[in-house]
Each structure stands twice: as structure tokens, then as C-alpha cells.
Structure 1
Amino acid sequence: MKKQFKLSILLVIITVATITISFHSKYKYPFQDPTLSIENRVDNLVSLLTLEEKVGQMVNNAPAIKRLEIPAYNWWNETLHGVARSPYHVTSYPQAIAMAATWDTTSLFQMANFSALEGRAIYNDSKRQGKTGIYLGLTYWTPNINIFRDPRWGRGQETYGEDPYLTGALGKSFVRGLEGDNPKYLKASACAKHFAVHSGPEWNRSTYNAEVSSHDLWDTYLPAFRDLIVDAKVSGVMCAYNRFEGQPCCGSDLLMNDILRNQFKFTGYVTSDCGGIGHFYKTHKTHPDAESASADAVLHGTDCECSNQPSYFALLKAVSDGKITEKEIDISVKRLFTIRFRLGMFDPEEMVPFNKIDTSVLENKEHQALALKMARQSIVLLKNEPFVKSAKNILPLSKNLKKIAVIGPNAADEEVMLANYYGYPSKISSILEGIKSKTNAQIIYEKGVNLTDNQVFKPIKDNQLFNFNGKNGFQAAYFQNTTFKGEPAFTRQEPNIDHQWGDGEQIADKIIARNMGVRWTANFVPQETTTYTFELKADDGSRLFINDKKVKEAGTRNGYYTFNAEKGKSYKIVLEYWQYSDNAEVKLDLGKIITEKPETIAERVKDADVIIFAGGISARLEGEDMPVEIDGFKGGDRTNIALPKAQTELMKALKATGKPVIFVNLSGSAIGFQWEAANLPAIVQVWYGGQAGGEAIADVLFGDYNPAGRLPITFYKSVDDLPDFQDYKMDNRTYRYFKGEPLYPFGFGLSYTRFKYGNMEVIRTEKDNLKVKVKVTNTGKIAGEEVVQLYLTHQNSDFKTPIRSLKGFKRINLKSGESKTVEIALNSRDLSEVDADGKIFPIKGNLQITMGGGQPSRSMLKNSSVIEKTINL
């Protein structure tokens, strides 16, 4: 026996030695061996790192570790509605809130899948060029699944709306589409944000302390995160800027340690929002210094810090001072490298199937077709009535009209379609272009008013007004810095100032669009003595000089400068523009400000057969932490939800012509347009439609597509219907708790056809689950899509519960006269409620189940019926 034992040991030693020899003959380190498990490879890699190298990996812009052949990697990338901010042309889909209005999980899955393919193509191409910068990686910090609890929040456009169930269903589809189903590799990494009680205001997000009841936390704010983390196994989470119950969200005992890691069993990586860790001690004042903040964030499971000034040295000092141990640092570093291994970043090229994807997939026909499809699917028909009695509904319009007036601040604007967090497609369709493509009618276009006032800028299209050294245009001097120090990298003559560059885009051999400055210089010689205006659009920052005097310094939004000039006199014009990272956009136009009475504009278009007014707002007014301070808007949020007065006044004048006025509203949030709802025959909510937005809108207006979008948010009548913006309690918020009468309810949307519901069955299945069936018939004359919605109302609760809750939906297509039986299953979680302590338990007593084309008991259900049944559980 002893001889056999010794022989066995010898064989083991020989085998191990053979493996070791074999390993060392091919790989320098075990972490490089793709035959080993990811866990073993990560453990080996982290064991080889110094403390300084480990801490260096815990920032978004992780440096290379050359001695181990580990390339640099920037964790920050975006693909909210298509790959964003890259130096490549990409497909731009409708904004997230618009995709939510499709109520189509299949489309959202495919959109995420296509975005991942385009992202892989960009990553692969950048890698071949040796580029590892921001917006080139495979870790996308999306989707935003915060609940859009208040229409004043400017970032609500990035979400999937106000309902936890709809948000969770769409979010799961996005994660599964983006991350793929390969058993070994992530196609890309998604990131559920912002964990977890976060939805404005923007102006105080770095100081605000959110407080909610346990019921609201578990009933409203956490369900979608649970769906993505527990069910969809999302690989990343981003914690929020604000405090929650006194602690910064990225350092919250309850959110981060208890719920995320312990209850949800999340094993992926967590990143801070950018600059969020610095807020611990700079603005929240919950921590005395940087080292305490950085240590506490890591101890609460924040693995990656996004910051322009990361707490690298602070975290090292925290280790030396005993506030955190190197072993605790290791936990975060291992999570980060696990994601990179799952993305195939350390495996041979041929082993990772996604490495074969090249730039030919960018904007391919299939992706463009989906962008158009989703833009169409997202459009919500809010009102459609006859213009005169006994006539048919005003929409769809006839293509045989003789004259059509297209009016409004968003009518000819392409940029409005891109919303925020966007990439650049090769082509964008405006509403005006879309309408022109549909008909041979004479088109009269008038901007009429701006979004918020009636002072309309009209550019002077004459490049000969500007010259430099005897040549038309401007001298452009490009600097690879934002301070304009030293000699420019290169100079060239440009006919005008109108540029869009993706972050990192190569402008010339010596410069890229990141941390860049450009100085344009020209002489302006006016041809008449009059008052001129410069319109300046510039992201990041800009300065305008006239005769060496600074006359304008702008942030990231429009700016105007008006001045008097004499005919024949020469004026030196200098524009300095600087860009850090993100998209680079700058445009300077010369023109005049024209102010006209609404009646004057109406007089010019009174002979049109129909007037289409394209108004609303844009992402230049609503968005993230913006320098906007005008009436009704503050810091990216809104203080009033009414449509800007200038637009309503113009539409009143247009209506007074006696011609039908169709209101096309563009916005990422709910607008309280009460006058329009009461006085105009047709209203269409079109959101921000992406690259194909204008084409899709025209398809709906002229009947080439039957609209079937449904509202993912409640449209309230007035800001007076809402609680204080900073109050996070859900009382009287969203359709689930709002007790008033909305302007248009959540789930609402009209069609050009009609649907009837019948034969409802409720079947009890195993484990006390339910299966609900209903027959849906298209009783109209044309084919159309219907969004079947299932709502539950618990009728015997002795504590706070929603008025009703969405618990299922399906988007279906029916030909004229066709019927389909729709079946929706309800599981134990669907049939549960949340008590005052945040505990989830099965519903007991009477349960009302409603299925239909919208919420029950709403007078606006003109195109669909609803059917209800009450059962006892």
C-alpha cells in the first residue's frame, strides 16, 4: 500500500510538473491562460499587483500595467438610445422615453442588440488602432431605470417612464439584448442606474437628502432594479449622487450593503456617478475628507470611481491610515477585472466571437430600419377629432392637399431629434423634410417663434461678409489644449463655423476632438448700417470677441449677442471654443432678430388647407445639470409644466384663421397643454424620435403608419396638480397614486381603427398563480396595432396600496376584422402587495382584474374597450 501511495504521489507530481512546463511554455502568467476559470485567472492577476496598481484600476480611466501587458481601459461609455459620443457615425434610435412609449419589449431587445454590435465594432476598430480612451469601451452606463415620478425632472427623458412594472420589463429586455446570451462572454456590459432613490431636482442633486417610507421604497423605487439585478443578471450598477436617509447613496448601509449585495445577491461591479465620491465631503458634508470618503465608498461596494480628479492618493492614504485594508481593496479590483475577463479582453482574438465584428455594421440597413420602426411605434396620438361637424377625423391627412403650412420652432430642427446622450448618425430627418417627402402640396414654412419666446433669429447667408487675409471665411487655429497656450497644432481656412465632432474624432493628423481648443478669426465688413446679432451654439465653453473686446461667454447652450455696425467698417471677430470630452459642437451664425405678432404670421399662412404646428421643448431646455435659467426652466429641470406661452399664443392666432391646426409636440416629458387639448382637433406626441423621427412623424400624419404608441407617463393639466418637486413620497404621484383627473392618462393612446375586448377568462394555475385570457377584435376598417394592458386593483387592503397597477402588457397587430386571444400570466410576485414596513406578501381578498387598451374608467378610451372581472384570493 505504501508503495502504491508513493507511486500515486509521484504521478501527481509528474502531472503537475508537466502542466506547469506546458503552461510556462505558452503563457507567462496563469491569468493569461484562457483554459482556466475566470475566478482563478482574476485571483492570479490581482495577486500580482502592487497596492498602487490596484488602486489605479479603481477609476474610470484605468491606466495600463505594462509589466503585466494589461492595456489601459476607460470604463465610461454610453448607449442610452444608440452608441453615444464616439468618433464614428452610428445609428440613433428614439430617446429612452420614446422607446418606452412603444410598449414593445421585442423592439427594445433588438435595439440593444444592434447597439452592442455597433459598440463592438467601434471597440474592435479602436483597439486595432491602439486607442483606449473614453467612449470606446464595452461597459455602457445605461439603462436609466429611475422612476419618472415628476414631469419637472429634466432627465426623465432618459427613463422608461413612471411605472415600475413597465420600467422593469423594458429594462430587462435592454439588458438581455445588450449583454447577449453567449455562455462565456458578455457581448457588452450594461449598468442599471442610478441606484436607487433618484429622480431630481438636478440643481441640488449633490446636496439633496431623499427620504421615503419603506412602502414607497419597495413598492416604487426598487422593483425595476430588482428585475434587472436578480432576473436579468445585469453586470453593472451605478449608485446615485444624492443622499438617502442621511448617507450618500454610494455609501448607504441600506441600499448598497443590505439590499444590493445581501438581498439582491449582486456580484457585478458598481461605479459611482461622475464626481459622486467627491460630493461625500465637498457638498454632502457627511465625511471630513477625501480619504474617508473614498474608503467608505469602497467599503460599501463602490468599485469604480468616475471622476476627473479621482481619489487615488486619498485611497492609498486611507489604507496607510487603517481606514481600509488591502484585502478589502482586492474585492473591488477582482470585481472590475471579472467584468473585463467576461468581455473577453484577455483572451486570444480568435476565441471571442464578437472580435469579428467590424465597422460595416455601423448604420447598416437593418439598424436603420429598426430606428424608423421604433420612431413610428413611439408616436402617441392624443387627440383626433373632426375639424367640422359631420366630417371624419382630421387625421390622417390626404396627400392631395394643395397647400400645407408647417410652423413652429421644432419643425425644421434636426438636432431636436437626438435628445441627449446621443451619437451622430449620417442623416437625420426633420419634420419639415418628412412632410415634404409625402406630398406634392405647396409647403409654406415659418419658424414663427422660438421654444420660449417670439424673438426669432434669421441668419444672413453670405459667407463673403467674413474674410481673413483677403480670403473668404475664417482662419481656424486648432490647439490640443483648452487654454490656447503655445503655438496651434495647425491652422486652416474655413468658410464658416459649423462643426460636429464625436469625442476623440481625428480632426487632422496632429489633433483629436478631446481637450481641444479652436480659435476662429475673421474680419466682418457689413454691407449696411444696422443692428446685427450673432447666434452662438457651443458645447463645453466659448468666448466671442469683437475688436478684441469680449462680448459673450457661453456655457453649453445657445447664446445671442446683438450689436450695431456701420456699413463698410471692418470689425475683427474672434471666437474661442474649447471642448473637454463628450461631443464637440460649435456653430456661429450672423443674422437679425425678428419679432412679429402672432397675427402677422397667421395672416401669411391663412390660405393653407391645413396648418401643422411643431412645437414643445427640446434637450437644450431639459436635461442633466444644465446652465439654463429662464422662465419655466431651471438647471435642466422645469419649474412649470405648461407649454411656453409664446407657442400657445401663436397657435391661438393660427386657429383664428379658420383653418385646422394640428399640434405636433416634441418633448421628453409631460407638457400641460390645456388650451391645445380643448381647442385643436388633433394632437400628436412624438417625443425625440432619433435619426428617423421626421420621416416617422410624416408617416403617421399621412396615414402610412397607424399610430399605436401609449403614454409611459401621466400628462397632468398643471403644475398645481403636483406635490413639491423635492418631496419623494409617492402620494398623489403617477397614475398609481394620483387622485385627480389627468390631461392624458398613463397608458393612453389613440388609433386610426377601433378595438373591442371580450371573452375574458381568469384561470387559476399551480402555486396559486393566474392566467388571464381575453379576445381582442379590430372592429375598424384598417389594420392596426393595439397595446393590451392588464391592471390589478386590490379592493380589500387595510393599508396604502396603489389605485391600480400595471402587471402585464402585449403589443399585437390585427388586420381589419381580425381577432386574437391574448394571454397574460400573473406570478406570485405580480399577485403581491407591499405593506407599510416594505414587506411583500400575497394579496388576500377581492382583486379586480382589468384588460383593455388603457386604464379602466377613463373617458378617453375612444378607440378601445376595457373588460373587468373581480375574483377572490
Structure 2
Amino acid sequence: MSLKYIFLLVTVFSLFAFNAIDKPKYPFQDSTLTVEERVDNLVGMLTLEEKISQMVNNSPSISRLHIPAYNWWNETLHGVARTSYKVTSYPQAIAMAATWDTTSLKTMADYSATEGRAIYNDSQRQGKTGIYLGLTYWTPNINIFRDPRWGRGQETYGEDPYLTGSLGKAFVRGLEGDNPKYLKASACAKHFAVHSGPEWNRSTFNAKVSDFDLWDTYLPAFRDLIVDAKVSGVMCAYNAFDGQPCCGSDKLMQKILRDDWKFTGYVTSDCGGISHFWRTHKTHPTKESAAADAVLHGTDCECSGDPTYRALLKAVKDGLISEKEITTSVKRLFTIRFRLGMFDQAEEVPFSKIDIAVLESDAHKAHALKMARQSMVLLKNEPFANPKSNVLPFGKDIKKIALVGPNADDKAVMLANYYGFPSRISSVLDGLRSKPGVEIIYEKGCNLVDNKVFKPNWKGNNFSFGGKKGFQVAYFKNTKWEGQPASISRVEKIDFQWGDGEQVADGIIANQFTMRFTADYKADETSDVVFELKGDDNVKLFIDGEKQIETDLKGGYYTLKAQKAKVYQIVIDYLQYTDNAEIELNMGTVESASAETIAQRVKNVDAIVFVGGIAASLEGESMPVSVEGFKGGDRTNIELPKVQTALMKALKATGKPVVFVNMSGGAMGFEWEAENLPAIVQAWYGGQAGGQAIADVLFGDYNPAGRLPITFYKNVNDLPDFEDYSMSNRTYRYYKGQPLYAFGHGLSYTNFKYSNLKAARSEKANEVLVTVDVTNIGKLAGDEVIQLYLSHQNVGYQTPIRALKAYQRSYFKAGATKTISFKLGANELSEVNGIGKVIRMSGNLAISVGGAQPSPTLLAQGKSIQEQFTLN
């Protein structure tokens, strides 16, 4: 046989083999077809049982059709969360809202999608398909932060529908990308739609609102994301609305979402939400009726560890729902997966080449610092000893600073909730120590809610197991420490963090597992030994068989009255169900020093910085917190914990200037501090670079320009009942009192003047063009947030006192003037009438533009400007 003939045979065989391998077996594998054609083909081949199997977050594979398993549940609220990879952590959502910068938020979302794609691609290469590895991110949270007591308000973009909608649209566009064929990642607008606490009764609560409040406050941001930004996913809320669970609401899910807004994407329940239909809301008698009703209302995917949707097969047999209606939901789900490129060859999907080298890239870390700086709100800044200069920024005469407070050297507080682990977190102490030529004296002084300050003194040599130093640790593949351990090893210290799904030990990943640490502790002296224990989801300390601590991430303490040379058996049981896995054991002493004692220790300084507030260990989602002032993740009052105010009073008595840096996810009512301290910074939860950003603001390396996205009230007496969803006397749009600090407030180290405000109709009858000149009249460069508010006057129905309709964050050199332009279109010039109908404004308007809401003082100072305008 000639070489030519052999070559011909090889070529023919190769072509045949190539076509046999790469030619699509089924039409849905053919990427040249439309998504609709491919989805119709795939879903058309599924049995009813297979269709139902795909309607839960943890969807199994269908091997006969080569459909891989997929878990829909993933999070990226402020950076990719709950992952085993090291990722970039940006400021918490409420802090990003304080930047008032849609460009920064869009970039952050794009970077998060990039890191998410890298993790997805790497997981695919390893054959992993578990939770928190997919591309469907259940964020942003665009609920209205109507009441500062709500613990999850930190996840939102604040209290204003316009600001929330504009920031939410920027996030969606950044996360989902602009590729004409493929989504970079899938965003999900949540929680649809009338949802903002309380946390403790969310599975039974029935929200009642007027049509006016529904359309004026609770729905506009959702409309912005669903109609304008074309978000691909929606999550319905836990609570009921007008007597129906939100995931089964005629008005929300059918009339508004699907019929009026023509939403074609997928809807997921909040996790466990469908079971609430029959278990807690008691609106449905059986699992079958609950599952059928949720699907009939357009809830396509159920998130649950014990899915109610398993009852759909019987529901079909009982005639409660048809297979056709189930098919509709399954098609929506597969449409998203096709749009993400999950059934195409890697070379066809432009995002498939993103590698894990992008995680924590220099650009991403720089942007985390930028947004942390942008989020800082300077609430107050007045002179102290020198009447010619304010306390901040610190000048060259400040050479020795006392740093005091429960959040001063806490890295965990920066990560808030729904977080991933970065490689490095900057605490405020880290940030201040990075400044050259300044001596820092650190004293914690108190905890968030008490003055029992733990001082570590780890003595590792005192712990042993089987005669060897350290702890034996046994790992169990269940949540009850049952059976034989899957793995046993030894550790010298208990201090671990794992992302969900990360490998913990041989055969053990961090998802629904338990650990048992065992050691003998031999005391080297007779004394009190304090054990500090932290863990999430649950951790228990046993000493000689008696349980002494059971706690979660907020931590617990136990004092052992140890006898010299006596041996105590130490057992620590740790449970992780889902989310990040964290456990830490320390030992030391507890000091309960008086505020006056702490003040005396730090009085010989040039200035004092107190870093306090609260933390996500006290406020958040449905938390088992039982501390005075807190309930189930929410707050029962908004005051700063008393122990912190008492310490700041003692610090003020030293005669040194005290700067208060507050960290919180919501508004705090610190009346004494606002009245008595010269400078206050609202620092939120700043992400991995939060401490550096705070230090940069305090020392003037960054000129602050953050603005409040929420109203800071004086105290809880200013608020209506938490469970009252009426907007009467809530938020800046309807609050009739005098706030502590107003929505939109924020100071700078320079000053701006507004002039030459003009408003005119454009050639398009539905638009009004507004221009204003803004001048930096100070000596420092910096950003200004120009805010435009409309007040509709002399109408015969309810309207807001004023409403934000446009804004722009812009950089100004010292002495520079810019003409800022705003275009008010149909959306900005609309309002809701007394029966809940969206109509165009007409008549007399007051147009106000400034660096904050208008007030007589700001108008007189030229920091705000106003003009009357008639709109026909």
C-alpha cells in the first residue's frame, strides 16, 4: 500500500471521527440555532419527573442527555461570596450606595463577574458543580431601607427609590455585561417586592400597603431593573403581601411582573420560602397545593434543602397543575443556562478563557480601596482648640494618636455579611499605623455592648492529646457527629476559615459537616483562665463532659477556675451547615476596666480616634442574637450601645479632641456624640480596604465626598412602628421632623458654590434640561455630589416633600468651575397620584440643586440653589 493511499485513508478516517465527535447529537447542542429553538428541543425531550428535578436550586444531572448538574445558588453582594477561593471584598452594599457613583458600582460588578467566571471556569475544569460555584448570582437587594431597625438594610442601596434604581441598574449592567449573545453572569433583583423586615417574623408577616406607597416607593426600583436594565432573574420575598405569600401573589407575580412588565426571565424563591406557604403562612393546606400555586404564579425555581417542589408530581396527578405549566418554568430556567453559554463549546464563549489569575488582581484591589474611600461620609467637622481650622484632617501637629474602640482593630467587621475571604484585610489600626511620623497608642476599651474586654494569652504548650502537643480533630460527613470520623488529624491551634465547599480534610468539604476537637488542658498555675470561642454556624465547648459555651460567630466566653497541675478534658464540637466555615479558640483574661480608667491610659496624646458602632455579628439576616437593643438580626432601638457613649464621654473629659468613626449597616441615633464631639465619620463596613480608607480620610490623603443614602434619625421615638409599612413620616421624602443627619448629607475638606441655575424645556416635549454652575471655592481638590430634587407644589393629592430626580459625582480641582447638566425625562417627571397611578407632573415645581437637600441655611450660603418652574 502506497504512502499516498495510507495518507488518504488516515485523512478520511480523521474527518469521519471529527464529525462523529463534534457533530451535535441533539439540536439543543447546535449553537447556530436560536436559544428558543435549543430550549424547546431540550425541554421537549424531558420526562415530567426530569422537568421537576430541574426546578430546585440544586438541579441534578440528566446523563442520558448530557445535561450537567447545576446549583443556582450563588452570591456576590459586594464581591464574590462564600467561596473557597481568595477574592476581592468591596464595601458593603449600603456603603457602595454612599458613593453615589454609578460608574464605580458598575465597574465593581464587572470585576465581581470576572472573578466569578474565573471560579466557575476553574470549577468546571475540576468537574465541580456544587453550591456557590455557578453563574447565577442572587443579588442585588433593591428593597427600600424604610426603617433603620432592619438588620438586612445594610444589603440595600438605601431608602430612596431613584437612587436605589439607578445604582441597581448600574450593578446589573456591570455584572451581566454587554455581549450580544452571552451573559457574563446572571443578576437577580430581590426581594420582590414589599419586603424590609422584621427578620424575626418574616415567615409569617403580612405586609399591607396602599397602592400609592406600592407604586411610589416599593416598586420603582424593581421596574428600573426589570423593564429598563432587563435583569435576567428575580427573587420573590418570604413575607406575605395583602394576604398572599409574595411568591404566590396575584398582584405582584402575575399582574405586575409577568403581565404589565413582560418579564421573561426566571424567578427563584427565597430559600425555604415555598415551604412557608403551608408551614407558617398557613395559606395552603398541603405541599402539593403550595408547590402548584407557586409555579402557577411564575416561581420557576425553589431554593430549599427540603424542596416542596418534590410534591409537584403528585400535584399534576391530582389536577392542581398541568405539565404544560411546569414546562413553561423549566424553559425559563434553561434559557438562562443557554444565555450563560453552559451548553456551548468553550471557544465560543468569550468568558471561558478567564483564569483564576484574575482573582484579587491589582486593578480589583485598587478599586476596592477607591470605593471604600468614596463611601466615607464626613458627618461633622468643627474646630476644637483652634477656631480657624477644623479637627479633620489631622495636621502635622498631630504626632501621637490614641486609637480606642471595639471596631478599631477588628478585621471581621469590615466584611459585613454575604462575604468572601480576601487575602488581606486592613483594620483601622493597620491603616493608622501605615501613616509615617505618627505614634499610635491602641486600647480597645470596650466591646460593642459591654466592657468585658478579652485579652489573649495563648499557651499552646498546655494542650495535648495522647502525649503530643495540640488537639486531635475528628471530621464527620454529617451535621450530628454521627458514626466513625471520615478523617482524623492533629492541630496545634484552632483558628480556621473555609469558604463553602472548600476542602477541609481528606474526603471532607466545608458543607454540612462537623468537627470535634479533643485535648487535655494542664494548668501551669492556679488562676482564672478565660476561653474565648467563636464559630459559625454553631460551636460548643465542653470541659470534663459539661457544656460551658454554645455560641455562634459573635463569640462566647467561659472562665475556668484552674488548679495548678490539674488536667481538664477539653472538647469542642463545631457544626457548619452552609455558608462560610469559621471557628476560633483563644485563651487569656478578661478585663472590665471603667471608662475613666481607659481614658487615663490614653490621655497623653494629641488626638483620640474612637472607632465604634455595631457589626454584622449583631445585625443581619434572621440571626439568633439576644442582646439588649437587638432582636433576631434587627434592632429594637437605634441608639449607640450605652457602653460606647460612656467611654466617649470619659475620653472627651481628657480635654483632647475626640473623633468618632462609626461603623454600622444602618442609621445610628448618636445624639450625644453629634452634640459634643467635633468630628464624626460614618464608615459603614468598608470591605478589605476599609481601614486604609478611614486612615486616608482622617489624615487628608483623601478628601471625603460620600453622601448618606439613608436618613439618620435622632432616636427610635422619631420612627413609626417597625411593622407599619406605610411611608407616612418615613424617609426624607415624608419625614416631617428634624433628622440628626439628612439623606444626601456629607461634608468635604473643601467648599463648593452653586450658581446660574437654569431649567428649560427641550425640543422633546417630555424633557426638561437643567444646568447649574458648580465652583470649588476651597483650597483643596475633591469630589462633589451634585443632587437635584423636585418638589411638586399646590396639587390636590399626596406627593413627597421632595424627591431626588438626578445626581452626579464629579471631581473638581481647587478653584475650578463646571457646568453640570441634567436631563429630566418621562421617568423623572412622573409621580403617583392618590389612587396609585403613575402620571406625568404638571403645574408648579421647585427645582433644587446642591451638595445636599435644600435648606434655608444652605441656600443662603450658596451651597444649594433653587428655581421655580412651571410644567404644562
TM-score, with length taken from structure 1: 0.96
Match of 2:525? 528
Query: How does 1:235-314 map onto structure 2 within 5 Å?
Result: 235-314=232-311
Aligned equivalents of 2:800 and 2:682: distance in 1?
Answer: 27
C-alpha displacement of 1:402? 2.9
Match of 2:400? 403
Match of 1:63? 60
Match of 1:777? 775
Match of 2:149? 152
C-alpha displacement of 1:630? 1.1
Is the Cα–Cα contact under 8 Å of residues 97 and 161 in structure 1 kept in the other structure? yes
Equivalent position to 1:393, from 390, 393, 404: 390
C-alpha displacement of 1:596? 1.0
Aligned equivalents of 1:615 and 1:268: distance in 2?
Answer: 43
Please report the RMSD computed on the Cα atoms of aligned residues, expressed in angstroms: 1.4
Aligned equivalents of 1:356 and 1:68: distance in 2?
Answer: 26
Equivalent position to 2:223, from 218, 222, 226: 226
Aligned equivalents of 2:375 and 2:858: distance in 1?
Answer: 19
Is the Cα–Cα contact under 8 Å of residues 81 and 94 in structure 1 kept in the other structure? yes
Aligned equivalents of 1:555 and 1:413: distance in 2?
Answer: 17
Is the Cα–Cα contact under 8 Å of residues 399 and 439 in structure 1 kept in the other structure? no
Match of 1:747? 744
Aligned residue identity for 2:637: N
Alignment of 1:574 onto 2:571: yes
C-alpha displacement of 1:688? 0.3
Alignment of 1:724 onto 2:721: yes
Equivalent position to 1:849, from 838, 847, 869: 847
Distance 1:67 1:412, change over 3 A: same
Equivalent position to 1:117, from 78, 95, 114: 114
Match of 2:42? 45
Match of 1:823? 821
Aligned residue identity for 1:682: A
Match of 1:840? 838
Match of 1:709? 706
Is the Cα–Cα contact under 8 Å of residues 538 and 551 in structure 2 kept in the other structure? yes
Aligned equivalents of 2:858 and 2:139: distance in 1?
Answer: 34
C-alpha displacement of 1:141? 0.1
Match of 1:101? 98
C-alpha displacement of 1:481? 2.0
Aligned equivalents of 1:270 and 1:598: distance in 2?
Answer: 52
SS at match of 1:649: helix
Aligned equivalents of 1:85 and 1:399: distance in 2?
Answer: 43
C-alpha displacement of 1:862? 10
SS at match of 2:765: helix
Aligned residue identity for 1:57: Q
Match of 1:11? none
Is the Cα–Cα contact under 8 Å of residues 853 and 864 in structure 1 kept in the other structure? no
The runs of 4+ residues in structure 1 deviating greater than 3 Å are 22-25, 858-864
Match of 2:496? 499
Alignment of 1:215 onto 2:221: no
Is the Cα–Cα contact under 8 Å of residues 533 and 591 in structure 1 kept in the other structure? yes
SS at match of 1:528: coil
C-alpha displacement of 1:443? 1.4
Aligned residue identity for 1:267: T
Match of 2:613? 616
Is the Cα–Cα contact under 8 Å of residues 755 and 862 in structure 2 kept in the other structure? no
Aligned equivalents of 1:654 and 1:472: distance in 2?
Answer: 44
Match of 1:86? 83
Query: How does 1:592-611 map onto structure 2 within 5 Å?
Result: 592-611=589-608
Match of 2:803? 805
Query: How does 1:379-390 map onto structure 2 within 5 Å?
Result: 379-390=376-387
Distance 1:644 1:197, change over 3 A: same
C-alpha displacement of 1:832? 1.5
Is the Cα–Cα contact under 8 Å of residues 853 and 861 in structure 1 kept in the other structure? no
Is the Cα–Cα contact under 8 Å of residues 230 and 264 in structure 1 kept in the other structure? yes
Distance 1:212 1:23, change over 3 A: farther
Aligned equivalents of 1:777 and 1:435: distance in 2?
Answer: 32
Is the Cα–Cα contact under 8 Å of residues 191 and 236 in structure 1 kept in the other structure? yes
Aligned equivalents of 1:667 and 1:79: distance in 2?
Answer: 20
Is the Cα–Cα contact under 8 Å of residues 791 and 802 in structure 2 kept in the other structure? yes
Equivalent position to 1:654, from 632, 651, 655: 651
Match of 2:172? 175
C-alpha displacement of 1:556? 4.5
Aligned residue identity for 2:307: P
SS at match of 2:131: coil
C-alpha displacement of 1:28? 1.2
Aligned equivalents of 1:354 and 1:518: distance in 2?
Answer: 38
Is the Cα–Cα contact under 8 Å of residues 152 and 619 in structure 2 kept in the other structure? yes
Aligned equivalents of 1:871 and 1:386: distance in 2?
Answer: 40
SS at match of 1:481: coil
Is the Cα–Cα contact under 8 Å of residues 403 and 608 in structure 1 kept in the other structure? yes
C-alpha displacement of 1:25? 8.0
C-alpha displacement of 1:486? 2.5
Is the Cα–Cα contact under 8 Å of residues 372 and 690 in structure 2 kept in the other structure? yes
Aligned residue identity for 1:830: E
1:121-146 deviations in Å (ceiling 9; x for gaps): 00000000000000000000000000
Please, which moves more after superposition, 504-513 or 407-416? 504-513
Is the Cα–Cα contact under 8 Å of residues 400 and 439 in structure 1 kept in the other structure? no
Distance 1:343 1:527, change over 3 A: same
Distance 1:864 1:90, change over 3 A: farther
Match of 1:19? none
C-alpha displacement of 1:492? 2.1
Is the Cα–Cα contact under 8 Å of residues 474 and 521 in structure 1 kept in the other structure? yes
Aligned equivalents of 1:204 and 1:312: distance in 2?
Answer: 23
C-alpha displacement of 1:555? 3.8
Aligned equivalents of 1:163 and 1:566: distance in 2?
Answer: 60
Match of 2:368? 371
Query: How does 1:155-166 map onto structure 2 within 5 Å?
Result: 155-166=152-163
Is the Cα–Cα contact under 8 Å of residues 406 and 443 in structure 1 kept in the other structure? yes
Distance 1:559 1:851, change over 3 A: same
Is the Cα–Cα contact under 8 Å of residues 614 and 666 in structure 1 kept in the other structure? yes
Aligned equivalents of 2:663 and 2:468: distance in 1?
Answer: 41
TM-score, with length taken from structure 2: 0.96
Structure 1 unaligned segments of length 5 or more: list them: 1-21
Match of 2:314? 317
Match of 2:460? 463
Aligned equivalents of 2:787 and 2:364: distance in 1?
Answer: 28
Is the Cα–Cα contact under 8 Å of residues 753 and 863 in structure 1 kept in the other structure? no
SS at match of 2:654: coil
Match of 1:560? 557
Is the Cα–Cα contact under 8 Å of residues 399 and 438 in structure 1 kept in the other structure? no
Aligned residue identity for 2:520: N
Instruction: Report the number of matched residues.
Output: 853
C-alpha displacement of 1:322? 0.3
Match of 1:6? none
Please, which moves more after superposition, 783-792 or 587-596? 587-596
Match of 1:15? none
Distance 1:399 1:430, change over 3 A: farther
Match of 1:14? none
Identity of aligned residues (%): 68
Is the Cα–Cα contact under 8 Å of residues 655 and 661 in structure 1 kept in the other structure? yes
Aligned residue identity for 1:842: R
Alignment of 1:795 onto 2:770: no
Aligned equivalents of 2:453 and 2:60: distance in 1?
Answer: 49
Aligned equivalents of 1:61 and 1:555: distance in 2?
Answer: 27
Aligned equivalents of 2:721 and 2:169: distance in 1?
Answer: 31
Please, which moves more after superposition, 185-194 or 762-771? 762-771
Match of 1:439? 436
Match of 1:361? 358
1:325-373 deviations in Å (ceiling 9; x for gaps): 0000000000000000000000111100000001011000000000000
Match of 2:515? 518
Distance 1:649 1:864, change over 3 A: farther
Match of 2:755? 758
SS at match of 1:767: coil
Equivalent position to 1:541, from 521, 530, 538: 538
Please, which moves more after superposition, 667-676 or 510-519? 510-519
Aligned equivalents of 2:553 and 2:645: distance in 1?
Answer: 27
